[in-house]
Chains A and B, each alone.
Chain A
Amino acid sequence: MILALLFDTLLAVAMIVVAVWMISVKNAFAAIIDFMVFGLLLALAWLRIEAPDVGLTEIAIGSGATGVILLRARGLARDRDEMSATPSIGFKILVGALCGGVTLGLAALVLMPPDPAPTLAYAAAENLHLTGVGNPITAVLMAYRAFDTFLETVVVLLALLGVWSLTPDRFWGGRPGPAPAASVPAPLTFLAQWLVPLGVLIGIYIFWIGADEPGGKFQGATILAAMWVLLMMAGLTDAPPVTSRRLRAALLVGPAVFMAVGIAGFWLAGDFLAYPPDFAKPVIIVIEAAMLISVAAALGMLLAGPPMRESEP
């Protein structure tokens, strides 16, 4: 009990220190590495408040993938330094007071919780057997609130469309990201050759157990996307051109299957996105497998960035 309290207090203090450091450190690279460290601490906090699914997502996407994207742009913060005006001390004090007020207001909400706490846990548990899955989070994502999850993958695709549409005209139709380095360090190639088969296995495993245990398609897809990016970095494969039909099919298969099942629900179960009773679990797994492909492809392409080199003849 005391040990748990000690751990929680240490973790809380560490998170605040890392967050303050992240905002105040001068060097942008240090701030981004700080952000990734912060993500790991935050994932521990998620475990402490009994949300392991969220912790996994935080490590994979919140800390890992977001950190990689930010690292891609770290040089820009340096380039723009002299163009940016630093605010005066008076302004900083004013903003500090405002932000302190926001924090105090939120803290008051935390310290005066409604009693009894509002919860939908009982409703979620009551209908869990109808969905056929054992993990209530997966049941929420794929059954109770399936429409949200459908729109979420559309948001990921929209972000990718936005990133691609920022391609300079002369590079359109090319492969995403900068050209692969002429010489890749041998340890990196070695790492990619050994880690990728293992990583793909772990990614698929995390996806598969998501039905009953913490895990799921987003966490699994992030691991698959990371393995893809590792292969690209090691020069073992190159990103497909943004006009590739196979790439576009992979990006669309998830939302397309989701939509098809949703519309079929009108006839089979009487409503949009309703699953036929007795077949809920197989239907959910088919949708999730298609979404795994699409989300992994979209995340990999988001990590690679827009095309930055001439398309090959």
Chain B
Amino acid sequence: MTFPFDTATLYGLVGALLIGIGLFGLIVDPKPIRKILAFNLIGAGVFLFFGVVAKRGAGAGFGGDPIPQALVITGIVVAFSATALAVTLVQRLSQEEAAASDADGKDRP
């Protein structure tokens, strides 16, 4: 039996699909937390895509090219930092909005 793809190609296609799914969620879903989730899904797809580039560059006794792999590790840490900042921004925004609607409620009667 011959399979149409090798392992790297299969995961490369998964990465391409993940980017598409994440992009759709990012644009269509109006809720900020869901947008952050979708953005992380795009990130996961891009990293996987890059990981496939690393796998194809295997050589010199390594299972994959270590340079893209190391860059992906850096990328995951940076994506986490950006997510933490984004979540805190949304948190602060909703606090401010809650405070503003409280103030409205008190003024009205």
Contacts and interface: CB of A to CB of B under 8 A. Distances in A.
Contacts of A218: 73, 77
Contacts of B94: 76, 79-80
Nearest to A126: B60
Chain A interface SS verdict (over half): helix
Given A22-B41, A48-B11, A110-B52, A141 B24 contact: no
Interface residues of A, number: 98
A54 B33 contact: no
A54 B51 contact: yes
B4 to A, nearest CB: 10
* Residues of B in contact with A, size category: 35 or more
Interface in B1-33: 1, 3, 7-25, 27-33
Given A50-B63, A51-B69, A111-B13, 6 more contacts: A19-B22, A32-B33, A49-B8, A121-B57, A144-B67, A159-B84
Interface of A: 2, 4-5, 8-9, 12, 15-16, 19-20, 22-23, 28, 31-32, 35, 38-39, 42, 45-46, 48-51, 53-54, 57-58, 61-62, 65-66, 69-70, 72-74, 76-77, 79-81, 84-87, 91-92, 95-96, 98-100, 102-104, 106-107, 109-111, 113, 117-122, 124-126, 136-137, 139-141, 144-145, 148-149, 152, 155-156, 158-160, 162-163, 166, 168, 216, 218, 299, 302-303, 305-306
